[in-house]
Amino acid sequence: MLCASLSFTRASAIPSWEELSAKQQAQLSSGKAVVIEEDVPGEPWPILTIYQIASCSPEEIAGVFWDSELDTKYLTGCRSVRFVERPTPSVQVAEFTLKMPFFLPDEVYTSRIELIPQTPGRYKITWRILESRYAKSCNGSVLLEPLSGKTLIRYRNFMAPNSRVAVLMRSPAKDRVVESVQALVNQVEKEKRESPQLMSQQQKDLMRALGK
């Protein structure tokens, strides 16, 4: 573990990596995710940030993430995805339907998802909820940075719920977000093994969205 940590540290011209303590870096180097909760005054839910190292390239992960229609295949509880519009190549607006816990009606929300240009080898995708059954507002981002032949994922999300019942859903919601990051990594690894043609098309779509 120490060797791995030192190897990653030598490669640390990586802003997200340098945000972390030595203990958190060691945790990531051991293969575990780092989950950070930041309380927001007056809000029942925190800003949730998840760091994880994946044995895939930033481009491979970004390509799968950008393929929103695939979400129903690997994200637990994602019932459907319907594209509403693509106002520019780097922006997609889609309607998502998610199964909710506690016998609650499904969440149906519309999200604006944007691919933000970065320096070569780095990818950032942001999202902002436009309409939602359960959220007053929600926004987040995933930043993908190369790290010693792997990828450092920084996934950040904040939702301001519009219902008191949201207090009861804080723990399940956190678990779902953490699981979704791992599910994304699992999907990328699966595609590398079993569906190289799909992954190739996803990367072409990603480059097209970036105007390349």
Stated pTM of the model = 0.89
Ramachandran angles phi, psi of 150, nearest 5°: -125, -165
For residue 191, with 0-12 CB atoms within 10 Å meaning exposed, 13-18 middle and 19 or more buried, which class applies? buried
In sequence order, what are the beta bridge partners of 40? none
Q: Domains (ranges, CATH) in the chain? A: 33-173+184-209 (3.30.530.20)
**CB 73, CB 202: distance < 8 Å:** no
First to last CA, the chain: 39
For residue 141, with 0-12 CB atoms within 10 Å meaning exposed, 13-18 middle and 19 or more buried, which class applies? middle
* pLDDT given for residue 102 in this prediction: 73
* pLDDT given for residue 167 in this prediction: 65
Instruction: Select the more confidently predicted residue: 10 or 186.
Output: 186
Question: Can you tell me the distance from the alpha carbon of 40 to that of 45, in angstroms, rounded to the nearest whole number?
Answer: 7
Statement: residue 127 has pLDDT above 70: yes
Q: Is 27 helix (H, G, I), strand (E, B) or coil?
A: helix
Please provide the DSSP assignment of 85-141 as one string.
EEEETTEEEEEEEE--STTPPPEEEEEEEEEEP-STT-EEEEEEEEEESSEEEEEEE
Statement: residue 99 has pLDDT above 80: yes
* pLDDT given for residue 166 in this prediction: 63
Query: What's the whole-number average pLDDT of the chain?
Result: 89
DSSP state of 60: H
Average pLDDT over residues 155-174: 79
Residue with tokens 């995933």: 142
Give the list of residues 6+ apart from residue 53 with CB closer than 8 angstroms, or none. 8, 28, 29, 31, 147, 150, 151, 152, 153
Instruction: Select the more confidently predicted residue: 207 or 10.
Output: 207
